[in-house]
């Protein structure tokens, strides 16, 4: 049994986690809805990497639909009142979409690496049909890896609080989270380094420097995005696992609260993925630029229409 102090709730941590989740839900839904519209109405040429990006958009939109329920869980002081079935469905969909998003982001980086560094390989002649088949296999593989999330008990939904019993399902979840961070991040760093090294050798002429800078920005954005979203949670989960054997309840509670907040940061990937889309095609840059101008224009119109002081109505 945990000591009472070890299971104390931190209202500040729970509100911070819920606020992050709601912000990520709003921004992620807006950004990925624009990306989805661009895929259907503005993208004229589809290539395998575009198919991986399309599936990444779908994963991010489905993940965003889970976040309000997750935020309500934190705002309700980690209590779940919607029943075990809804709890299991939420956990499964959340784990599936987050894992699939990481997988498709890695697939985009790997596709760029093969086309730039190993351009003569036959795999670069992959058909669109084959790319759709690979995408379907990714979804099926992630569903098989995350199906244990649907078997958790109602008391586990969806919580990062430490448990004394080390069940196989909980250990599998922890191992899967670390694998989903270490392997893709290592592969992304390896591919990014290879892409940049090859492009520096090929694009030495001054007139080709803009293309090199765009490629550098793309691979840099993918690496920075992954580190920003997952590295804090990775460190917090390591500290949480290490603190389970400690007797100091203050340390364990701090680790739980840190895991709650940094765990909410992992969903920031769905908000920042549109940065990757912008670097991948001018069609996305045009769509997001149009959205930005539209929002800016509306804000200016509201400001101009706001009632001001009329000197003729003043008593002075």
User: pLDDT per residue over 88-106, tens digit each?
Assistant: 888 888 889 988 998 998 8
Q: In the chain, helix, strand, coil percent, each to 5?
A: 80, 0, 20
260 is a domain residue: yes
In the predicted model, is pLDDT for residue 151 greater than 70?
A: no
- The residue with greater pLDDT, 294 or 224, is 224
What confidence score (pLDDT) does residue 68 get?
Answer: 92
SS (H, E, C) the chain: CCCHHHHCCCHHHHHHHHHHHHHHHHHHHHHHHHHHHHHHHCCCCCCHHHHHHHHHHHHHHHHHHHHHHHHHHHHCCCCCCCCHHHHHHHHHHHHHHHHHHHHHHHHHHHHHHHHHHCCCCHHHHCCHHHHHHHHHHHHHHHHHHHHHHHHCCHHHCCCCCCCCCCCHHHHHHHHHHHHHHHHHHHHHHHHHHHHHHHHHHHCCCHHHHHHHHHHHHHHHHHHHHHHHHHHHHHHHHHHHHHHCCCCCHHHHHHHHHHHHHHHHHHHHHHHHHHHHHHHHCHHHHHHHHHHHHHHHHHHHHHHHHCCCCCHHHCCC
Using one digit for the tens of pLDDT, what is the confidence trace for 236-252? Answer: 888 877 776 666 677 77
Q: What are 41's two structure tokens?
A: 């109405």
302 is a domain residue: no
46 is a domain residue: yes
76 is a domain residue: yes
172 is a domain residue: yes
* C-alpha to C-alpha distance for 173 and 241, rounded to whole angstroms: 13
- Is the CB of residue 176 less than 8 Å from the CB of residue 109? no
Length of the chain: 316
Q: Which residue segment(s) compose the domain that 190 sits in?
A: 8-297
What confidence score (pLDDT) does residue 248 get?
Answer: 65
Q: What mean pLDDT is reported for the chain?
A: 77
133 is a domain residue: yes
25 is a domain residue: yes
- Is the CB of residue 146 less than 8 Å from the CB of residue 92? yes
Number of domains in the chain: 1
Instruction: Calculate what percentage of the chain has a pLDDT beyond 70.
Output: 76
2 is a domain residue: no
Which CATH number does the domain housing residue 94 bear?
Answer: 1.20.1070.10
DSSP 76: T
């Amino acid at each position: 049994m945990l000591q009472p102090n070890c299971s104390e709730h931190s209202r500040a941590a729970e509100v911070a986690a819920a606020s992050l989740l709601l912000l990520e839900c709003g921004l992620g839904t807006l950004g990925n809805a624009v990306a989805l519209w661009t895929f259907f109405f503005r993208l004229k040429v589809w290539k395998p990497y575009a198919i991986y990006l399309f599936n990444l958009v779908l994963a991010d939109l489905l993940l965003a639909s889970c976040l309000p329920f997750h935020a309500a869980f934190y705002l309700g002081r980690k209590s779940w009142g919607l029943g075990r079935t809804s709890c299991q469905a939420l956990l499964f969909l959340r784990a599936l979409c987050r894992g699939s998003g990481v997988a498709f982001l890695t697939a985009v980086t790997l596709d760029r690496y093969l086309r730039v560094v190993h351009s003569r390989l036959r795999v670069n002649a992959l058909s669109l049909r084959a790319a759709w088949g690979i995408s379907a296999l990714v979804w099926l593989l992630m569903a098989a890896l995350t199906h244990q999330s649907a078997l958790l008990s109602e008391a586990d939904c969806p919580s990062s609080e430490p448990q004394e019993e080390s069940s196989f399902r909980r250990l599998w979840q922890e191992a899967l989270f670390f694998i989903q961070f270490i392997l893709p991040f290592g592969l992304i760093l390896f591919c990014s380094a290879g892409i940049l090294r090859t492009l520096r050798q090929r694009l030495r002429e001054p007139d080709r420097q803009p293309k090199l800078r765009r490629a550098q920005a793309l691979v840099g954005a993918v690496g920075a995005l992954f580190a920003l979203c997952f590295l804090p949670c990775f460190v917090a989960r390591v500290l949480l696992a290490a603190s389970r054997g400690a007797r100091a309840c203050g340390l364990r509670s701090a680790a739980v609260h840190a895991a709650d907040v940094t765990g909410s940061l992992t969903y920031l990937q769905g908000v920042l993925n549109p940065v990757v889309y912008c670097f991948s095609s001018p069609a996305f840059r045009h769509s997001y630029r149009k959205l930005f101008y539209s929002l800016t224009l509306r804000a200016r119109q509201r400001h101009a229409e706001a009632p001001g002081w009329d000197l003729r109505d003043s008593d002075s």
